Chain A
Amino acid sequence: MNRKYELVYVVSPDATDAQIADLHTQVEQIAQRLSGVIEKTDNWGRRKLAYEIGPHKEATYVLETINGGGELMKEIDRRLKVSDLVIRHLIVRIDEEQSVVDRTRTKRTEASRRRRVARGLPPDRQPGEGQRGDIDDDRDDRFELPEGLER
């Protein structure tokens, strides 16, 4: 059972860095116990909340990408629900969606390559070609999270 999940937890602004690190190790331990692996951890730092949650107006966000089974995520969910420091959390399964995205992306590039070859052009877009020649169509700079998340 190897699935990929994304876990975001919103930690109360009163929490110290040590407490946040402690939460991370807790999650890691649960993952280890239930044969899961944490692939990536990303601390977004302090952000303003879009609405007040109880007394809090800002909070620290932590994103983790976890490889593991459903039982593991159930346990993490349970633990985070109990935790006082975590004011919100969200677990999303991402592997299925990611594969769909990859498929559509490869399908599109292949289709465009085929069309270009049929028109007697080289399969890839040449620099300086077309109306928007300088802009590279395939660039994807939407995911520079630290800046991307600022509003």
Chain B
Amino acid sequence: MNGKRSFGGGGRSKAGTQGGQQGKDGQRRPMFRRRKVCKFCADKIDDINYKDTKLLMPFVPERAKILPRRISGTCAMHQRKLRTAIMRARQLALIPYTAE
């Protein structure tokens, strides 16, 4: 268990140094990462409609898979609604299932 933990910690610090920047006095600073916000909460979009392909398209990038929450930053409630909307739009061939 201990070994596992140190392994995970090592991985994290490695990522930190890779992304870190050199300060003036040579100190390493952790990379600044912008906090992700749910697009639908921020823009106050209440209903995610399957007819609104313009809204849905940014969440189905090239491969036409649904963009995961960890990347898009969408909150759980809106990701759920987004998923149903995308699945409905796919049935009607408004959005592709896969990219050929």
- For residue A3, CB closer than 8 A to chain B, the reply is no
Closest A residue by C-beta to B95? A50
Q: Which residues of A contact B93 (CB under 8 A)?
A: 10, 49-51, 53, 59, 88
Question: Which segment of A29-37, A68-76, A119-127, A137-145 sits at the interface?
Answer: A137-145
How far is A142 from B85 in the complex, measured between Cα atoms in Å? 15
B21 interfacial contact with A, CB 8 Å: no
Judge if B17 is at the interface, Cβ distance under 8 Å. no
The answer to whether the Cβ of B91 comes within 8 Å of any Cβ in the partner chain is yes
CB distance A92 to B88 under 8 Å?
yes
Chain B interface size, under 10 / 10 to 19 / 20 to 34 / 35 or more: 20 to 34
B46: chain A residues at CB < 8 Å are: 101, 104-105
Q: Is A21 close to B, CB under 8 A? A: no
Closest residue to B46 on the A side, CB-wise? A101
Q: How many pairs of A and B residues are in contact by the CB < 8 Å rule?
A: 55
- For B52, give the chain A residue with the smallest CB separation: A142
A-side contacts of B45, CB under 8 Å: 142
Give the contact stretch, choosing among B26-34, B53-61, B68-76.
B53-61
B54 lies within 8 A of A151 (CB): yes
Taken together as a complex, chains A and B put the C-alpha atoms of A9 and B92 apart, in Å, by: 8
Least CB distance, B9 to chain A, in whole angstroms: 41
**Residue-wise interface mask of A (109-148) relative to B, using a CB-CB cutoff of 8 A (1 in contact, 0 not):** 0000000000000000000000000000100001101001
Point out the residue from B88, B95, B96 that lies within 8 Å of A90, measured CB to CB.
B88
16 inter-chain pairs at a CB distance below 8 angstroms, sorted by A residue, are A50-B90, A50-B93, A50-B96, A51-B96, A51-B97, A88-B91, A88-B92, A90-B91, A97-B47, A105-B46, A143-B49, A143-B52, A145-B51, A148-B52, A149-B94, A151-B54
Q: Which residues of A contact B (CB under 8 A)?
A: 8, 10, 47, 49-51, 53, 59, 61, 63, 88, 90, 92, 97-98, 101, 104-105, 108, 137, 142-143, 145, 148-149, 151
Q: Residues of B with Cβ closer than 8 Å to A?
A: 44-47, 49-55, 57, 88, 90-98, 100
